[in-house]
Amino acid sequence: MIRRFPGMKWCFCVFLLAASCGVHGQAQGHEGHRWWNASLRQKQVKLEADLLRASSSEKIREDHDLFCDEPHVAGTPGDHRIIKELASSFEEMGLEPELQELHLYLPLPVEAHLSIVRGPGESGPHPGDPPVELVLQEAAVKGDPYSRHPDLTFGWNAYSGNGDVTAEVVYANRGTKEDFSRLASLGISVKGRIVIARYGGNYRGYKAKFAEEAGAAGLIIYTDPKGSGYRAGLTYPEGGYANDTYIQRGSIKTLPYQGDPLTPFEPSTENAKRLDPDSTGLPTIPVQPIGYRAAGEIISRMRGKLAPRDWHGALPFTYHLTGGPELRVRLKVVQERKIRRTANVLATMRGSKYPDQKVIIGCHFDAWTFGAGDPNAGTIVLYEAARLLMAARKQGHVFERSIVFANWAAEEQGIIGSTEYCEANRDDLVANALCYLNLDMAAMGTNFGSSSSPLLKSVIADTTGVVPQAGKLGVMVQEPWLRGQSTPRFGNLGGGSDHVGFYCHLGIPSASMGAGGSAGVSYHSNYENLAWYRKIVGDDYEPAVMVSRLVAVAGSRLSNATLLPFDPTQVPRDLSTHLSALQNRADGVGLAWPEKEAGVFSDAIVALQEASQKFLESGLQALQLDQLDAESTALMNDALMKLPRAFCLDEGLPERPWYRSFFASSDPDSGYSAWMLPALRYQVEKGNRAGLARELLRHGAMVSRLSESLTRVQAATAQKMSKN
């Protein structure tokens, strides 16, 4: 399934180690090395010390220059050019790039127009006056040459329907499910009207979905200054926040599966069998993103019912729900959807002992404009981590399992490249992929954070104990991350980036790793360029150095650990947390909690706690005593690899069969947040107590089977060791 672009040639050049940028710290993480047997532990300690010694912010900066040179939306010439750059960069460090060619159903913008046709009363134009044309592209900014790049376009929402409508307007707050319900309960119809909604609260695709379902003629989405503009901080170029012409581009595809809209479950090869585009449920109404200057022109002219207090943004007037018949807006959107060519760019550092087993580290490369933040603040980390690991190998260090570095195509249009990769390599990945680490926008500040599936929390937390914190001498990443707590806080991994195919479709343990906290927003705009990044995130690339080291060390641990560094006791801990949250949610929506069935599930979780504890302790103890032979190690590692697959069922989730993980999924009503134990959550949201009770029993059985298998393996290895 992995093809090469014709006309590219691959060479295997030896990566020359760039000048080290100094040693900030020494690996201290004994805790992190408990997964090694005594003979290999010292080698790993030495490897990590070498990894931490070699890091070059200059090289990272060069990569950033290279990857952010021009706008490169998926399917455009800029996209094709960056694919070559990415492949060449792998080659430079001695990796052989592989391209997975993709033939994707992608839109590109053709035309957009927005104007106020008639304004109300004395404060707006009179009938017969010329319309007020609204500007749909960011203003060029002094001191930012990128903002004048000729390939930049007006703002657009990918997969908008085409249309040219003139209608009254309705303000729908953030356009969430609740917001549309509230409008309805206030007796306000959006039917045949153009909805205007602000960004935030959900994935923009759901704003479009709910607007279309409610009968709207079109949708305008704008960035309110409350969350992202002058109310958050100084605006660009004085500061980093959204100025009044900033526009957040983005896809509005919402389908019950990720990836190419025409090839669910299957890879988008040139001759793949495709769905009829009209049957997929892609948006049909015109949808247009705008900045707050343009939005203010419309909203300030509205004269109907006042918006509820909590619906007000930070524009300098009182917000209304309706514009009234005097205020008519014309919205025209033309996009061309067709099959366009792009490719994933991957490279593998082959494992010396278990070449089939692979740790996958990835980040998409496509961008709405230059992508200096999204995604390239992650791409530079991916390349620097690869460089660190390749340099270590060059120094003679050994990596037992393979590490795959992956650049994903067309994430922005709906997590497409990575999904197609998962669909193309399903069996191999299910059998051999240890985990997936996602780096999208990984270096946007100095505050480290991670969302993770339970098995990866331990290795990530341990790694932060040995990598120096950016900008703080003598402090490890873990210290500020802990913020005074005894254990670091992880987010729940849900939707929103390239882990979804791995985690939610295939059940492969996944995590996002990255650092944020810089004061600004250029997300998906024409300002997401190097001038913005270097002014707002910084010019020293310390965040990228920090996260690259974390990724390299964590990657090496996953590659080399004798016993896979997956702490199985985290699974029942997380299950227990999620079950409690679910019960709270049921209380919140007034659903009587099925105590008995929940008790069955809860008992199974307690049993798993015991089984996993015993499994872990016996494994670690044997390692400590150097009593774990190769066969037992393989048996235990196999059990750890299979553990997360216990929560995957081929039938998939109700109404969303592509989502196979019963542990986690994206939230089907907002897109960005996570549903944990999603089959249970589904029944709670439906208010179906019988369905919930049935699912609780099934989950109990699922967990019990897992306990049994862990116990079986533990017993077998214990028996074997006692014989030795």
Cβ of 603: how many Cβ atoms within 10 Å? 13
Shortest distance (Å) from residue 172 CB to a copy of itself: 20
Please, which residue, 120 or 657, has the CB nearer to a copy of itself? Answer: 120
Shortest distance (Å) from residue 237 CB to a copy of itself: 12
Please, which residue, 16 or 306, has the CB nearer to a copy of itself? Answer: 306
Shortest distance (Å) from residue 238 CB to a copy of itself: 8
- Whether the bond between 375 and the residue before it is cis, its omega within 30 degrees of 0, is yes
Shortest distance (Å) from residue 233 CB to a copy of itself: 6
Question: CB–CB of 333/111 below 8 Å?
Answer: yes
Cβ of 598: how many Cβ atoms within 10 Å? 21
Measure the CA–CA gap between 503 and 674, rounded to whole angstroms.
Answer: 12
Q: Binding of a copy of itself at residue 317 (CB under 8 A)?
A: yes
Among 128, 316, 474, 484, binds a copy of itself (CB under 8 A): 316
Q: Binding of a copy of itself at residue 624 (CB under 8 A)?
A: no
- Beta pairing partners, 116: 132, 329
Please, which residue, 86 or 315, has the CB nearer to a copy of itself? Answer: 315
Among 312, 332, 426, 720, binds a copy of itself (CB under 8 A): 312
Please, which residue, 227 or 259, has the CB nearer to a copy of itself? Answer: 227
Please, which residue, 120 or 654, has the CB nearer to a copy of itself? Answer: 120
Shortest distance (Å) from residue 198 CB to a copy of itself: 15
Shortest distance (Å) from residue 315 CB to a copy of itself: 7
Q: Binding of a copy of itself at residue 314 (CB under 8 A)?
A: yes
Per the listing, tokens 């590490």 go with 403
Task: Enter the tokens of residue 333.
Answer: 């959107």
Pair type for strands 218-222 and 194-198: parallel
Shortest distance (Å) from residue 234 CB to a copy of itself: 5
- Tell me which residues in 236-265 interact with a copy of itself (CB under 8 A): 239, 241
Q: Binding of a copy of itself at residue 308 (CB under 8 A)?
A: no
Please, which residue, 324 or 657, has the CB nearer to a copy of itself? Answer: 324
CA 152 vs CA 249, 367, 532, 605: distances in Å: 12, 12, 15, 53
Question: CB–CB of 250/221 below 8 Å?
Answer: no
Measure the CA–CA gap between 691 and 684, rounded to whole angstroms.
Answer: 9
Please, which residue, 304 or 371, has the CB nearer to a copy of itself? Answer: 304
Please, which residue, 488 or 520, has the CB nearer to a copy of itself? Answer: 520
Question: CB–CB of 171/263 below 8 Å?
Answer: no
Q: Binding of a copy of itself at residue 305 (CB under 8 A)?
A: no
Torsion of CA 340, 138, 412, 57, to 10 degrees: 110
- Tell me which residues in 656-695 interact with a copy of itself (CB under 8 A): none
Per the listing, tokens 């919930």 go with 692
Task: Enter the tokens of residue 305.
Answer: 């019912």
Q: Binding of a copy of itself at residue 632 (CB under 8 A)?
A: no
Written as one string, the DSSP assignment of 175-239 is --HHHHHHHHHTT---TTSEEEEES-SS-HHHHHHHHHHTT-SEEEEE--TTTTSTTTSPBTTTS
Q: Binding of a copy of itself at residue 306 (CB under 8 A)?
A: yes
Please, which residue, 243 or 469, has the CB nearer to a copy of itself? Answer: 243
For a copy of itself, how many residues bind (rule: CB under 8 A)? 15
Among 20, 318, 577, 580, binds a copy of itself (CB under 8 A): 318
Q: Which amino acid is at 423?
A: E
Please, which residue, 113 or 305, has the CB nearer to a copy of itself? Answer: 305
Question: CB–CB of 670/200 below 8 Å?
Answer: no
- Tell me which residues in 218-237 interact with a copy of itself (CB under 8 A): 225, 230-231, 233-235
Measure the CA–CA gap between 134 and 117, rounded to whole angstroms.
Answer: 11
Considering only 49-57, 131-139, 271-279, 309-317, which stretch makes contact with a copy of itself by CB under 8 A? 309-317
Calculate ∠ Cα 566-571-577, nearest 5°. Answer: 140
Chain-centre distance of CA 569, in angstroms?
26
Q: Which residues bind a copy of itself (CB under 8 A)?
A: 225, 230-231, 233-235, 239, 241, 306, 312, 314-318
